[in-house]
Amino acid sequence: MNFNNECIKVERRGPMIKTWLFIPGNNEKHLQKARILDVNALIFDLEDAVSVSEKETARLKVSKIIQETKENLNYIRINDRTTPFFLDDLYECVRDGLTGIVLPKVNTKEDIVIIDYLLEVLERKYQINNHKVSIIPIIESASGLYHAYEIATASTRIQCLAFGAEDYKLDLNISPDHHGTELLYSKSKLVEVSSAAGIEPPIDSVFTDFQDEEGLVEDARMGKRLGFQGKLLIHPNQIDRTNQIYSPTPEEIEEAKKIVQQYNESLDKGEAAIQIDGKMVDIPVAERARKLLLYADIQV
């Protein structure tokens, strides 16, 4: 926000990551196909998508592919720290080429403190730049939501939070609603916490029926309106529509450019509120336009 007649400027942090696709870590065909998908970020899954008998094989495959595709945003969803697979997942897969760890079932800040320490040790061991590997905690329980701010601020590695709606509904015995209204509070809470913690906006949960495009569109639009930066996906068919929904339209971009430019000019004249196309524009409106351009990676 700007209260001293300084121009509204777009920070160069890059665009938000709109699409995050889970790839089963034990499926060689899917792992190879992931190389050519037009998705923002890949999450190689060692948790729910992999049976116990396949955990070791999956680790080896995932470790290999992240080292071969260092140009991608490569994340790994490991098993949570209460399982016997947690340490092995980290020891095998923290290598150069890994962007971050997606950590499931995070309930308290202690979950973050532990993995932060282990990542620091492994980065030194494998000569990875210190604090290069980020952490994305998945909030999927009442305890996780209650402690979300403590979790979000427990480490400088925290990139953003993610929402695990299916486990959250199970934990609270919530009956699903076709329009997702039963999750409005929890989703809004994560957006609020993320802003207060100074981290990126959260990632919305998966839409499990990958054949229901209409349902996906409604769910993704709600997530965008609530303030999420993007969405977890379980099928390549969900990528294009989700990218479209979370991307500003050309009309929105042009309007935002106009607002930022004219508002900057008004500040130079000492005016903090102006009219543009019949609409009042003051600091909050100009800031929303600035953020839209930031998310779209537009230079003004």
User: Which residue, 260, 215, 269, 262, is CA-closest to 237?
Assistant: 215
Whole-angstrom Cα distance, residue 47 to residue 25? 9
Write the single-letter amino acid at 217: V
Whole-angstrom Cα distance, residue 286 to residue 199? 21
What tokens does 192 get? 């609020």
Residue 223: how many CA atoms within 13 Å on its side-chain side? 28
User: Which residue, 53, 131, 121, 66, is CA-closest to 93?
Assistant: 66
Whole-angstrom Cα distance, residue 270 to residue 235? 51
**CB of 242 closer than 8 Å to CB of 251:** no
**CB of 242 closer than 8 Å to CB of 230:** yes
Query: With DSSP H G I counted as helix, E B as strand and the rest as coil, what are the percentages for the chain, rounded to 5?
Result: 50, 15, 40
Q: Containing H/E element for 276?
A: strand 274-276
Whole-angstrom Cα distance, residue 269 to residue 123? 51
Whole-angstrom Cα distance, residue 215 to residue 220? 9
167 labelled as ligand-binding? yes
Whole-angstrom Cα distance, residue 159 to residue 200? 6
* Annotated binding-site members for Mg(2+): 140, 167
* Annotated binding-site members for substrate: 77, 140
* Annotated binding-site members: 77, 140, 167
